[in-house]
Each structure stands twice: as structure tokens, then as C-alpha cells.
Amino acid sequence: MARSKSSTEWLKEHFNDEYVKLSQKEGYRSRAIYKLKEVQEKDRIIKQGMTVVDLGAAPGGWCQYAVELVGKKGRVIGSDILPIDPIPFVEFIQGDFTDERILEELLELIGKDKADIVISDMAPNLSGNDAIDQPTSIYLCELTLDMAQRILAPNGSMVVKLFQGAGSDEYLKEVKKSFRQVKIRKPKASRARSREVYVVAQQFFSTN
């Protein structure tokens, strides 16, 4: 089947992308790792010995990078509806974490010591209709915040991808109710035309 002009242009842009080439050269599973890397270099959110929970982990690039940062004494736990090829030192649960059974499995794996940071690069399968895509992306951010509120230890952190638009300001207000420090980052690896930014929330405090 012949490719459309737009998909051909996307493929050309993708394979010419400096971060795609860099990820292939350095052995990472996706260009998205450089978004997290830039946040890490600026905010030092992941430290040795931490427990990191990566929601929507497939294909596993963020998990790969997190393993390097936490070292042998840390833990990286990933979860996604999609399967991922095994990554050394990453504990992975396949399934929808909004499913009670998967949630319980995740909570049991994390244990009573809780997580130090929740990271999420989740995005919906885009339809091209902003009236559908934007609410769906905000919903994924809300799910991440809800999970962070459940599993973070005091003073923990959260990094979540947010598409700016309807509902994004309201979402940030909710984040600020649970974290003392909230910043917005636009990494260089995020394509300039994209409305995606990353919310870096630190110093979690329980609102219960």
C-alpha cells in the first residue's frame, strides 16, 4: 500500500532527526530519553538509591535511563498496557494501571516504603481532532497525579508530559495542591511545533 504524503514526510523527518540518530548510536530505545535527560540535568530529580515508577513505560527508553541514574541500590518499576522487551534491572508490569488488579499488583511491588518519583511520558493515540485529543491527554495527566498521590513518599517528585491547551492550567492548579515546587520544562528534544511540555513537581506533601 502506498504511503500518504504526510506519513512519508513524517518518516523522512523522523530518520533525519538528530535525537533519533543519537538514541540509535547510544543504544536507547527512543528519542524521548533526551527529554528526561535534559530535565534531569536541570533539576536533578533522580538520584542514586531511589525507587522510580515509570507509567506508560513502553518502549522503555525512560526506564533505561532511570536505571543508570539510580544505580544498584535503586529500583525502577515500569508499567504499560503494551509489552516491552526486558530491560536489565527493570521490574515491569504489563496492564492498565487503572484496572484494580493491575493497581494492586503495582502497589504490592512498590511496597510500604513507597516511591521517590513517578515519571510519565504518556500520550493518547492522537486522532488529529483537538476536541478529543486534548481532554484525553489531560485525563492521562490526571491519572498520573492520582497515582503519584497514592504511592509517593513525603518530598517525592513527579515528571509528567502535559499538552498545553484546554484544561492544562486547571491541571497545574491541582498539581500545586500536592507539591510545593512546580516548574514547566520544554526540552530541546521536544519538537518546536509540539504543544508538549513537562511538568516537574517536587516536594510532595500529603493532602489527606
pLDDT band at 25 (very low <50, low <70, confident <90, very high): confident
33 pLDDT more than 70: yes
Average pLDDT rounded to a whole number, residues 132-155: 95
10 is in an annotated binding site: no
Report which DSSP code applies to 93. Answer: E
- Output the pLDDT for position 10: 41
Looking at residue 18, its pLDDT comes to: 81
Is residue 161 among the annotated active site residues?
Answer: yes
Residue 156: partners with Cβ closer than 8 Å, 6 or more residues away: 114, 115, 116, 117, 118, 148, 204
- What was the pLDDT predicted at 1? 47
How sure is the predictor about 124, in pLDDT bands with cuts at 50, 70 and 90?
A: confident
Q: 52-96, pLDDT tens digit by residue?
A: 999 999 999 999 999 999 999 999 999 999 999 999 999 999 999
Catalytic residue among 161, 173, 186, 188, which?
A: 161
Q: Determine the average pLDDT of the residues in 117-141.
A: 91
Answer whether residue 13 shows pLDDT above 60: no
Q: Supply the range of the domain harboring residue 139.
A: 5-204
Identify the pLDDT of residue 22: 76
The span from the CA of 32 to the CA of 61, in Å, is: 7
pLDDT at 6: 52
Give the residue-averaged pLDDT of 141-165: 96
What pLDDT is stored for residue 51 in this prediction?
A: 98
CATH assignment at residue 15: 3.40.50.150
Instruction: Tell me which of 134 and 207 has the higher pLDDT.
Output: 134
pLDDT greater than 60 at residue 139: yes
Cis-peptide, bond into residue 59, ω within 30° of zero: yes
pLDDT tens-place string over residues 173-189? 999 999 999 999 999 98
Number of compact structural domains in the chain: 1
* Residue 15 pLDDT greater than 80, yes or no: no
Is 133 annotated as ligand-binding?
no
**Which residue, chain included where needed, has cell 512498590?**
110
CB-based burial label for 161 (10 Å; 0-12, 13-18, 19+):
buried
Annotated binding-site residue? 130: no
Could you give the percent of the chain with pLDDT greater than 90? 73
More confident: 44 or 190: 44
Average pLDDT over residues 30-46: 94
* pLDDT of the residue at 151: 95
Helix (H) / strand (E) element for 136: namely helix 130-151
